[in-house]
Structure formats: C-alpha cells, structure tokens
Amino acid sequence: MSDVRIGLLGLGTVGAGVVKLLDSRRALLEERAGCRLTLAGVADLDTTSPREGIELSALPLTKDAQSLLADPSIHVIIELIGGLEPARTFILKALAAGKHVVTANKALLAHHGTELYEEARRRGVYLAFEAAVAGGIPLIRAVKEGLVANRILSVFGILNGTCNYILTKMTDEGLDFGMVLKEAQAHGYAEADPTFDIEGNDTAHKLQILIALAFRSFVDLKHIHTEGITRVTAQDIGYARELGYRIKLLAIAKATSHGLEARVHPTMIAAGSPLAAVSGVFNAVFVTGDAVGDLMFYGRGAGQLPTASAVWSDAVEIARRIAHGVAATGLELPSAGPGALGAQPMEMVRTCYYLRVMAQDRPGVLSKVTGILGDHDISIASVIQKGRATAEAVPIVLMTHEAQERDMRAALAAIDRLPDVPLPTTMIRVE
C-alpha cells in the first residue's frame, strides 16, 4: 500500500477537527483512499495552547509553514489558515511545488479563485474546496459532478449559520437584533467582530463560488448585490408573520434573459416553504436544473467536525487518485463556459416587495404613498395600517406585486421626501 503524506496549515477549530477525524477514523479513511494517510507536518503560529481532544506532543507540529511547503515528500497541503494572506501565497507556493491543495477558504477563492484555478491547471495538480461552502453539506461535489447533465437555472438558499441563528431567535422569541447578537456571541455562534457575517459578505463569497461552478460564469464580488441583516427589526419580523412569511438572509443566483442575477439580502419567503423551516445554525440550498428539477441540500453549514468532514472528503479523493496514478486534468476546476453569463444589474431585477412606511397620522398620507407607487408602475397587493406607534409616526405596511428594482428605488426616494414621512422606509424583497 502506498503512502500519501499530508501537510496541514492551521490548527484552529477546523484544523483540530481534521486531526481528530484522522485519529478516530484512520482505518475507514485509509480503506476508502486505498493508501496510507500520513500527517507529515502541522504548521501553526500557536504551538502551545491546548486543543481539546488532541495530544499536541504527538503531532509533527511547527511554526514554520514554509518547511511543509518545501518538503518534497509531502503530496497534499490542507490550508485552514483562513483570510487572504498569507493563505494565498502559501497555496501558490504549494501548487508551484507540484503539491495538491485542499482548502476551506471561501474568502480567498472568492477574491483570487481565478488565479488559483489557473495555477493548479498549469501545474497539473488538484485544488479542492468542498469545505468552503455550506460546511459539511456535500454541495460542491453535487453541483460540480452530480449535475453535469443539467443547465442550472437557479441556486438560492441560506449559507450563513450566524445570520440564520439570529433571525430564528428574533422570529421565535420576538427579540431585537442587538440582544440576539450578544447571545449568539456568548454561545460562540457569532465572532467577537461579526461584521463579515451580519453584513452579508460571507454569504456573498460562498455565492460567488457556487456561481462559478453552477453557471460556469465568473462574477466579480462587486457585482453581487449584498445587504446584511442589521436593519431587520422585530417589528418587521412580526409583520412578516402576520402576512404569512418568514425573513431569511438568502443568497440568490438566477439565469435570466438579461444575464445572471446575483444577490444577497434579507428576503421574505412563504412560511410554508421548506426554507422557512430551516432554523438555528443550519444551512439549506435549493438548486434547480433543467433536467433534474428542484433539489434541496440541508445540513450543518459550519462547526468543527462537519467542516472537517468536508475537508476529508476532498483529501481522501485526492489521495485515492495519487495512489492509483490518476493525473489531474483541470477539468474539475471552475472555468468560464461558452455560454458564460454576465452579471445583470440589480436595477433590472423584478420581484415583489414588503414596505413599512412610517408616516404621520394624518388624512391623505396613505393615498400619497400609493399614488407615488402607482406613478412608478408598482401595484399594491395588500395594505396593513396600524394604530399610533409613536408620537411621530404610525406604520403603513404594504405588499406589492412584482416590480422592477429601479422603479422601486425611485418610488422609495419620492416617498421618503414626503413631509409626512419623517423616517426612512423599510423595504424587504419577497421571493
């Protein structure tokens, strides 16, 4: 039996999970790889802090990542450092040295994926990243290999467990955003600085990777419309429930006649839909193919062992190919196809909308608001007008029929200029 030697960069939460799974399931992993799996080196700047369930003294631990990259006996590098640098430099060095790479680094792939894919092709090595999107859910392989006979029509879903946990708690317990965020941080579901998650950036990175695979199109991050959940209030969640909806942070990509819709934002979805039932830190993604129809992928989108499970799915597949002499062709990497789609401007998107207008309690205000919407070709599906909420304003809640984003933005600007509307109008898109 041949020996495939592995170098691990990063012994944080996921890196420790990778070590734990190798220790506890070595026989199973080696049987499925058809070779011995040797952890030849582990590099981390912190070589002394205890990791639960791991005996550090038993590991080939070093602070010098370069020594692993330069070791000619190491076949595979697993990069779990995160961030853009030095992860990008390390991966490029590994590829240049003819080493295969497994990474969970979605930010790096979203910003520098094209460069890394091309370098892997040029060097004739594997670059795998199942763990970069949706944690333990085997989504990347399903899209890349399981749906090759399909033209993908849409991909949408919940890709950030932190945001889903916050919105679930707000929905179930009627709590405000700030209170739930503090609780999520206390439980370890949110980072000390949660900006990357709650502003939608993490979700946008994952969507960009999925777009490259599903639509064989490369969309720059700046062309993915991205909004977070910081402006979602308990009040809006309550109105959503009253109207038969739930609010989720969705990643949405759709092929249209005008190009590719690519957007991340809070979205109202019907309370009876499968996505509405996805709670806590779980992720769920719907993929629609022209041959297979609708598919749903559901599971833990983060966490030590679920993500480590995805890392090993890549590492074992690469080890199997090394052991059996299967050369990398580059065909498994994302590439722009002959029908690659450009990003459709957000202004052209058509969807339904929820609006909460905070207006002074005076006669004729509702007719002014609806008149402005009508002037911008936006028709109203339903209206809820509540009693006095504050001394300054009362909420007028409207659901619209499908309208164009450009028209809605122009209408909102006009509504917010009304003297009787002292506060900015809240708008949430409806799918």
**Six-digit token string for 261:** 């819709």
Yes or no: say if 249 and 203 are a contact pair by the CB < 8 Å rule: yes
Q: What is the pLDDT of residue 1?
A: 64
Q: How far apart are CA 361 and CA 44, in angstroms?
A: 61
Residue with tokens 């062709």: 329
How confident is the model over 12-23, as pLDDT tens digits?
999 999 999 999
**Six-digit token string for 6:** 């592995």
What ranges make up the beta strands (E) of 322-370?
A: 350-359
How confident is the model over 25-70, as pLDDT tens digits?
999 999 999 999 999 999 999 999 999 999 999 999 999 999 999 9
How confident is the model over 178-234, as pLDDT tens digits?
999 998 888 878 888 999 999 999 999 999 999 999 999 999 999 999 999 999 999
Q: How far apart are CA 287 and CA 285, in angstroms?
A: 7
* pLDDT over threshold 70, residue 86: yes
* Residue 73: half-sphere exposure toward Cβ, Cα within 13 Å: 9
How confident is the model over 346-389, as pLDDT tens digits?
999 999 999 999 999 888 999 999 999 999 999 999 999 876 55
How confident is the model over 233-289, as pLDDT tens digits?
999 999 999 999 999 999 999 999 889 999 999 999 999 999 999 999 999 999 999
How confident is the model over 144-175, as pLDDT tens digits?
999 999 999 999 999 999 999 999 999 999 99
**pTM of the full structure:** 0.94
* pLDDT over threshold 60, residue 331: yes
**Six-digit token string for 33:** 């790889």
| Per-residue CA distances from 58 to 35, 41, 222, 299, 414 (Å) | 22, 11, 45, 33, 67
Query: What is residue 48's DSSP assignment?
Result: S
Q: Which helix (H) or strand (E) holds 362?
A: none
Q: Which helix (H) or strand (E) holds 300?
A: strand 293-300
The catalytically annotated residue of 99, 106, 169, 206 is 206
| Selection from 348, 188, 190, 177 nearest residue 266 by Cα | 177
Q: Radius of gyration (Cα) for the chain, nearest Å?
A: 24
Question: Is residue 206 annotated as part of the catalytic site, yes or no?
Answer: yes
